[in-house]
Amino acid sequence: MMLHQDGSRHAWLAGRAPLDLIVTLDDATGEIYSAFLVEEEGTASTFRALKQVFAAHGLPGALYTDRGSHYFHTPEAGGKVDKGRRTQVGRALHQLGIEHIAAYSPEARGRSERAFGTLQDRLVKELALAGIVGIEAANRFIAERYLPDHNRRFAVPPELEDSAFVPLVRPGQVDDILCIQTERSVANDNTVRYANRVLQIPAGPARPHYVKARVRVHEYPDGTLAVFHGPRCLARYQPCGAPIETPNRQAA
């Protein structure tokens, strides 16, 4: 029914500066569904973790997080979050019908805090014993070797066998929701400018150009981009802005 997501900054890898470990776990059982290291916690790491969990298990009823700026807008430091002004994460959860719950004290995050205590004790040692110093190798180790053993040792059986997740129709169903969405106007040369990149919109069968139209740029967790006009995907792009050739345009 509810997931916890949190990040812990720690010296996870020997000889390296501290990194953020992003963990998404089940409130009822303590089972960790996703865990990986990144240079810095933020919107992209949140979407990456949620996509992993949703694709494997389905949609939960609620997500419980701290009040970090990528999760919530907080008008006053230490005050209540502004639920009427959503971040990109808040917008995505709202689109999916998932309740977003903010923690207001360290004690309220007890489930994730206890998990991080165990991880900082065990995971650091296991990564060191395996001689792992790179982030990619560490993330493979965490997913393939550490998490299965961790969950066998520390997760508790659920009281009910039935899953409360709502299954997805297809794994990629949420890709165009779990991304950064930004509105732009198309320039006179049928391009869109986004984050110091110029995205050329190709001519298509629906209309020859989109000059002055309002479109939506999607930036995915892997850095790739897409331009949408309403529900129609006009084109997809590499992180540098170069077009990705696809045989068919896809609708969201």
DSSP-derived secondary structure for 148-196? HHHHHHH----SSSS---B--SSGGGGTTTSSEEEEEEPPTTSEEEETT
Both structure tokens of 24: 């998404």
Q: Give domain status of residue 131, yes or no.
A: yes
Residues 145 and 187 in one domain: no
Q: How many domains does the chain have?
A: 2
Q: Give domain status of residue 147, yes or no.
A: yes
Residues 130 and 228 in one domain: no
Tens of pLDDT, residues 37-83: 999 999 999 999 999 999 999 999 999 999 999 999 998 877 889 98
Q: Give domain status of residue 219, yes or no.
A: yes
Q: Give domain status of residue 216, yes or no.
A: yes
Q: Give domain status of residue 173, yes or no.
A: no
In this structure, the dihedral spanned by the alpha carbons of residues 144, 168, 176 and 137, taken in order and rounded to 10 degrees, is 0
- State the pLDDT at residue 252: 46
Query: For residue 179, what pLDDT band results from cuts at 50, 70 and 90?
Result: very high
Q: Give domain status of residue 251, yes or no.
A: no
What's the domain range around 197? 179-244
Whichever domain contains 93, its CATH number is 3.30.420.10
Residues 105 and 218 in one domain: no
